[in-house]
Structure 1
Amino acid sequence: MSDLLSALLLGILEGLTEFLPVSSTGHLLIAQQWLGARSDFFNIVIQAGAILAITLVFRRRLWELATGLGEPANRSYVAKLGVAFLVTAVVGLPVRLAGWELPETITPVAWALVLGGIWMLLAERLAERRGDIATVTWKVAVLVGLAQVVAGVFPGTSRSAAAIFMAMLAGTSRRSSATEFVFLVGIPTMFAASAYAFLELLHDGAAGGEDWSAVAVAFTAATVTGFMVVRWLLGYIKAHRYTGFAVYRIVLGVLLLALMPGR
């Protein structure tokens, strides 16, 4: 397989999985077993493509919030986004510097997929018992921030899955409202995390020797695919549960544990 085709497939996979509650890290790790391992720089760049995609999807909502700060509801919502981001940064940075993170190998990722799928099934059922609540509270904002930190420590958990279902359990039981809040928080969170990692790599000189054509192809693929997937997901969850994604996670995790034990 050519390097450009491999890069294209990895970019598409990143766009498909970054914002679905199925773990992009886990899928890229699995894919690179067959398509070849890529540099950290490559992985950061394609993640940036996915972040650009979600920024484009929510451009009108972001503009509405930015230009509507005179309204108390908008100010409160933006403040809660800020709190969730700050919690992630304040708690997550020391965790990262301390090196508290499981290795990105098949076995821990597979277990994270299985346990995360079970968590999703239980959390959604519990949230539905509370009725259809769209309000995002300060408690939800804090717990979403903490959920993002947990997802960073356990590869395969999925940042979106951990945060969305924490929001639903903490009080924002409406799937669309919880998902929108988590995706909006994800924009500054992922931009900051990617920028931090990017600067680290530049400092270490790790960007040298990259195939820039492959990087550009993967970035473009991740952006276009991510845009389409997020648009689809926002429509899908208005009438459907996340159950299918949870079952998919469990099945995939079990298959990985059975077919790739000890890896």
Structure 2
Amino acid sequence: MPDILAALLLGILEGLTEFLPISSTGHLLIAQHWLGARPDLFNIVIQAGAILAITLVFRRRLWALGTGLGERENRDYLAKLAVAFAVTAVVGLPVRMMGWELPETVSPIAIALILGGIWMLVAERLAARRPASMQITWTVAILVGLAQVVAGVFPGTSRSAAAIFMAMLAGTGNRSAATEFVFLVGIPTMFAASAYALLEHFLDSGADPVAWGELGVAFAAATVTGFIAVRWLLGYIKQHSYTPFAIYRIVLGAALLLWLPAGD
């Protein structure tokens, strides 16, 4: 398969899976098992394309927050977004600087998909017993930040799933409110991760060359498909649970473990 076509497919896959609680990084690494491996820079930067889609979807909400600083509610919400991002940065940056890299085999991702699916089934049932609060507390903000770090360290976990269900269990019982907060936190988180990956690349004189054309195609594809996926998901969760995604994760993870040879 031509490299540019493979990059396009990976970009589409990233956009479709970044915000669904099924792990975009996990799906990218699984796809690259057959389409050819890409450097970590590729995987991180195209995620920024999907995050650009979130920025476009929530542009009115972001504008309202930015222009409504005179209202205490808006200042409080922005402060909690900043705290969640700060926790992710403070805890996650040392992990990155210690040389953490994405796994080269699919097996750990498959296991994470299964465990994450089980976690989602349990967490959603526990959260359903809580009042359907729309409130984002300081505790929720801190735990969402920590959940993002855990998801980053264990590909297959899913940043959105880990953070959304952490928010729901910590007190934000409303799926839509928890999802919106997590998606908004993802904007600075993933843009910062992409910027850091680019900085590392340019400062590393021995870094492998990057096919910028392929990266651009994948970035654009992730933006377009991410926009479509987010708009669909925001409508879906108003009337439905996340259970189908949990079942999908478990089935996919089990299929990968059964199908792949040992050590893959």
Q: Report the TM-score, using the length of structure 1 for normalisation.
A: 0.95
Q: SS in structure 2 opposite 1:241? A: coil
Aligned pairs for 1:35-46 within 5 A: 35-46=35-46
1:49-73 Cα shifts (integer Å, max 9, x gaps): 1111111111111100000011111
**Aligned match of 1:201:** 201
Query: Do the aligned residues in 2 keep the contact of 1:44 with 1:198 (CA within 8 Å)?
Result: no
Q: Which moved more, 1:191-200 or 1:93-102?
A: 93-102
Query: Do the aligned residues in 1 keep the contact of 2:44 with 2:193 (CA within 8 Å)?
Result: no
**Aligned match of 1:90:** 90
Query: How far, CA to CA, are the matches of 1:218 and 1:204 in structure 2?
Result: 23
Q: SS in structure 2 opposite 1:115? A: helix
**Aligned match of 2:158:** 158
Q: CA deviation at 1:101?
A: 6.3
2:70 pairs with 1:70:
yes
**Aligned match of 2:6:** 6
Structure 1 residues 102 and 28: CA distance shift in structure 2, 3 A: closer
Aligned length: 263
Query: How far, CA to CA, are the matches of 2:249 and 2:232 in structure 1?
Result: 19
Letter in structure 2 aligned against 1:222: A
Aligned pairs for 1:81-160 within 5 A: 81-99=81-99, 103-160=103-160
**Identity rate of aligned residues, in percent?**
76
Query: How far, CA to CA, are the matches of 2:146 and 2:74 in structure 1?
Result: 23
Query: How far, CA to CA, are the matches of 2:8 and 2:56 in structure 1?
Result: 21
Query: Do the aligned residues in 2 keep the contact of 1:133 with 1:174 (CA within 8 Å)?
Result: yes
**Aligned match of 2:179:** 179
Q: CA deviation at 1:183?
A: 0.4
1:197-228 Cα shifts (integer Å, max 9, x gaps): 11001111477743333222211111100010
Q: CA deviation at 1:251?
A: 0.4
Query: Do the aligned residues in 1 keep the contact of 2:105 with 2:263 (CA within 8 Å)?
Result: no
Letter in structure 1 aligned against 2:94: P
Query: Do the aligned residues in 2 keep the contact of 1:23 with 1:156 (CA within 8 Å)?
Result: yes
Letter in structure 1 aligned against 2:243: T
Q: SS in structure 1 opposite 2:240? A: coil
Structure 1 unaligned blocks of 5 or more: none
Structure 1 residues 10 and 208: CA distance shift in structure 2, 3 A: same
1:94-138 Cα shifts (integer Å, max 9, x gaps): 222234567342111111100000000010111011121111111
Query: Do the aligned residues in 2 keep the contact of 1:101 with 1:152 (CA within 8 Å)?
Result: no
Query: How far, CA to CA, are the matches of 2:247 and 2:117 in structure 1?
Result: 6
Query: Do the aligned residues in 1 keep the contact of 2:40 with 2:102 (CA within 8 Å)?
Result: no
Structure 1 residues 153 and 39: CA distance shift in structure 2, 3 A: closer
Query: How far, CA to CA, are the matches of 2:122 and 2:62 in structure 1?
Result: 32
**Aligned match of 2:233:** 233
Q: CA deviation at 1:48?
A: 1.7
Structure 1 residues 206 and 77: CA distance shift in structure 2, 3 A: farther
Query: How far, CA to CA, are the matches of 1:24 and 1:212 in structure 2?
Result: 21
Letter in structure 2 aligned against 1:78: L
Query: Do the aligned residues in 2 keep the contact of 1:140 with 1:171 (CA within 8 Å)?
Result: yes
Letter in structure 1 aligned against 2:50: A
Query: How far, CA to CA, are the matches of 1:235 and 1:104 in structure 2?
Result: 36
1:153-180 Cα shifts (integer Å, max 9, x gaps): 1111111110000000000010000000
Query: Do the aligned residues in 1 keep the contact of 2:19 with 2:160 (CA within 8 Å)?
Result: yes
Q: Which moved more, 1:39-48 or 1:187-196?
A: 39-48
Q: Which moved more, 1:87-96 or 1:5-14?
A: 87-96
Query: How far, CA to CA, are the matches of 2:263 and 2:207 in structure 1?
Result: 31
Query: Do the aligned residues in 1 keep the contact of 2:25 with 2:156 (CA within 8 Å)?
Result: yes
Structure 1 residues 217 and 207: CA distance shift in structure 2, 3 A: farther
Structure 1 residues 20 and 63: CA distance shift in structure 2, 3 A: same
